[in-house]
């Protein structure tokens, strides 16, 4: 069996049985245990729901891709 198949979710919560494939998702999950509002690591905006933060972070990632593509085509 390949290593990545054995370790599909190597990031484990130390307070419950949940496991995650991405460390950032574990960080978000931990907010459900400590009662803190999840916060965007890019702009520090706070959210009441983890799902809302995930959608928000994806906007930052999309924005970064657009900026990278723009830079690629304008740096001649």
Three-state SS annotation for the chain = CCHHHHCCCCEECCCCCCEECCHHHHHHHHHHHHCCCCECCCCCCECCCHHHHHHHHHHHHHHHHHHHHHHHHHCC
The CATH number given to whatever domain includes residue 42 is: 3.30.160
pLDDT number for residue 36: 85
pLDDT at 28 (0 to 100) = 84
Q: What is the count of structural domains for the chain?
A: 1
The chain-wide mean pLDDT, for the chain, equals 82
Structural domain span for residue 19: 3-74
Weakest mean pLDDT among 4-18, 36-50, 62-76 = 62-76
């Amino acid at each position: 069996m390949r290593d990545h198949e054995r370790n599909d979710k190597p990031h484990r919560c130390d307070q419950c049985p949940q496991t995650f494939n991405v460390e950032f998702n574990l960080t978000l999950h931990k907010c459900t245990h400590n009662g803190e509002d999840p916060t965007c690591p890019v702009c520090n905006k706070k959210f009441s729901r983890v799902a809302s933060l995930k959608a928000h972070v994806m906007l930052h990632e999309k924005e970064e891709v657009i900026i990278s593509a723009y830079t690629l085509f304008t740096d001649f």
